[in-house]
Amino acid sequence: MTLRVASIASAIATVLGIAIAYLLAKGKFRGRALIEAIVTLPIVIPPTVMGYFLLTALGVNSAFGRAWEKLTGSAIVFTPTAAVIAATIAALPFVVRASRAAIEEVDDRAEAAMRVAGHPEWKVALLVTFPLARRGILAGVALAGARALGEFGATVMIAGNIPGRTQTLPIAVFDSVQAGDIDQARNGSLLLVGIAIAALIAMTVLSRRRS
């Protein structure tokens, strides 16, 4: 369950994050600072606050929640889908910030050469910008994956704690502590710490190679 949620959330956060990062790095429009602030918000607010807003936005009393229930026949809260949404939002800022920094460092001359050759902007991005920024993007993806895997606060509020359905590893660690099963809690904690260290090492290595 934990790996599935983290994998799906990381994939979604990667696609959305790169697109948003490109928009922020290359776009010239009003409101960029506001968009960046909103995207970064999950890093600075308590996860429970994020969970509250998600619950308000996706709950059965919200317009989206009612539309989802009418479309699928079931509520979105307290489901694996809700866990994926929480993990995606938690992971998204890491992809956006790392990718934007990497995209802004790409040599403009390489992009200009493609434009002079008559290539459209989307092709310039796919063939030049993203490949040259790949190390920074991958560093962000590594951090996002670790963050998605470790998400707890918002997940437990919007997805609940249903063993075998919405219970992720961080929630299981919390349950183990509550139940007095210290060995189980230790094993889960060490696994999460190991993954986090691996992600940080990957980010450091990729950043050094980029520089």
Q: Over the stretch 71-107, which tens digit does the pLDDT of each residue have? A: 988 889 999 999 999 999 999 999 999 999 999 998 8
The domain ranges of the chain are: 2-210
- The dihedral through the CA atoms of 167, 173, 174, 180 has a sign that is positive
Task: Identify the CA nearest to 95 among candidates 156, 87, 158.
Answer: 87
pLDDT average, residue stretch 7-21: 95
> 82: closest CA among 36, 151, 18?
151
* pLDDT bracket for residue 110 (50, 70, 90): confident
Q: What confidence tier does 209 reach under pLDDT thresholds 50, 70, 90? A: low
Q: Is the pLDDT of residue 108 over 80?
A: yes
Q: How confident is the model at residue 201 (pLDDT cuts 50, 70, 90)?
A: confident
Confidence tier at 207 by pLDDT (50, 70, 90): low
Confidence of residue 29 (pLDDT cuts 50, 70, 90): confident
- Split at pLDDT 50, 70, 90, the class of 60 is confident
- Identify the pLDDT of residue 115: 87
Other residues' Cβ atoms within 10 Å of the Cβ of residue 15: 11
Q: Are 149 and 2 in contact (CB under 8 A)?
A: yes
**Architecture of the structural domain at 2-210:** Orthogonal Bundle (1.10)
